[in-house]
Amino acid sequence: MAASGQGVAFKRAEHLRRGINLSMWYAQARDYSAERLATYTTLEDFKLVRSLGFDHVRLSINPEPLMLNGAPETLDPAAMARLDKTVAEITGTGLVVVLDIHPEMPYVEALGQGKEPAARFLTFWTSFATHFAKTDPAKVYFEVLNEPHMEDSYRWAGIQSKAIPVIRAAAPKHTIIATGNHWGGVDGLLELEPVRDDNVIYSFHDYDPMTFTHQGASWSTEYLKGLRGVPYPVKPGDVAQLVAAASDERAKAELTKYGDQRWDAERVDKEIATVAAWSSAHGVPVWCGEFGVYKAYADPAARAAWLRDMRVALEAHGIGWSMWDYQGSFALVTRENGRPEGDARVVEALGLKEAKR
């Protein structure tokens, strides 16, 4: 089981049991116009999320559109007013919101290269945390950075160890969410040393095995792009036809390895158990900020099976979670007749039940 305790971080972690990522909106979008921000995700969506039984959302936020003329010390009043409205509407439905700083790739890569980008990052956090310090700390949490991936893990640990006191100075009572290197994955968490702050929750993302969860993903590792219909759960013989049909040698090797590893509910549980053990050893709470399956080429039943196994394992070990994502390419919802509706297979896999609205 994950660590349990009485400190404020453990109490706040109890409000991060079942969540969903609101993506492709304030981050990962080409259009941050007022019109799109006002219409892409709305109060109706927040109400649906709440009615399904979620207790929190993770809101991805690209910091650069919030900066006035690119200056991290000055936030754009109009941009912040729009974000304030969104945060107020989310929390007004009874949901906790995690403000996830989720920049574009060049921004994250620059953090790993020089002093000036790191200094700008800390300055932004001073501005951002100061702005949101007036919000209810039981309803608004701060996530330092989405998926850091630096060649030197010590560099990321150093940046994060400076960012947390900066945030804490601006917002003394708000909960901070920290993460490890290596794209915020399990390996990154396991090598992370917790900071000296008892109001920090530690996040990890888990998409293992990528051969299944990211099959056909055009933006990911090359061998994944051509994969289709990868099964889950899996035994060695289940991938034989896919291996024979694959023209890419890396794809053949990865599919073979995937089958040999026999990914199923037991294998998923073993991986989550390592996170729970880290949590217990360090006496800090953990939270799975992302897990999900790219839906374009995955069999819907297999996708639902993996989501169910992940959710069951996380809950068995006392770890809260936030699925990726609400309406992107890993989506929880579809929009029939323009209205959001939960995907019945996914809703069931997550242990939820769609309420009548």
Q: Does 34 map to a domain? A: yes
Helix axes 300-316, 265-282, angle to 10 degrees: 30
- Say whether both 251 and 309 belong to one domain: no
Q: Does 165 map to a domain? A: yes
* One-letter amino acid for residue 117 of the chain: P
Q: Does 1 map to a domain? A: no
Number of domains in the chain: 2
Q: Does 197 map to a domain? A: yes
- Say whether both 152 and 285 belong to one domain: yes
Q: Does 163 map to a domain? A: yes
Q: Does 303 map to a domain? A: yes
- Say whether both 120 and 243 belong to one domain: no
H or E, element range at 351: none
- Say whether both 247 and 340 belong to one domain: no
pLDDT at 355: 57
Across the 357 residues of the chain, what is the mean pLDDT of every consecutive 10-residue run? Answer: 82 98 97 97 97 98 97 97 98 98 96 94 98 98 97 95 98 98 98 96 98 96 95 96 94 97 98 98 98 97 98 98 97 88 96 72
pLDDT at 2: 78
Q: Does 3 map to a domain? A: no
- Say whether both 43 and 163 belong to one domain: yes
Q: Which two structure tokens, joined as six digits, stand for 23?
A: 């993506």
CATH number at residue 94: 3.20.20.80
Q: CB count, 10 Å around CB of 102?
A: 22
CA-to-CA distance for 250 and 322, rounded, in angstroms?
31
- Say whether both 183 and 256 belong to one domain: no
CA-to-CA distance for 225 and 316, rounded, in angstroms?
33
- Say whether both 40 and 148 belong to one domain: yes
- Say whether both 233 and 111 belong to one domain: no
pLDDT at 185: 98
Q: Does 2 map to a domain? A: no
Nearest alpha-carbon partner for 280 in 171, 227, 202:
202
CA-to-CA distance for 299 and 343, rounded, in angstroms?
14
Q: What is the DSSP letter of 232?
A: S
> What is the span of the domain harbouring residue 253?
218-262
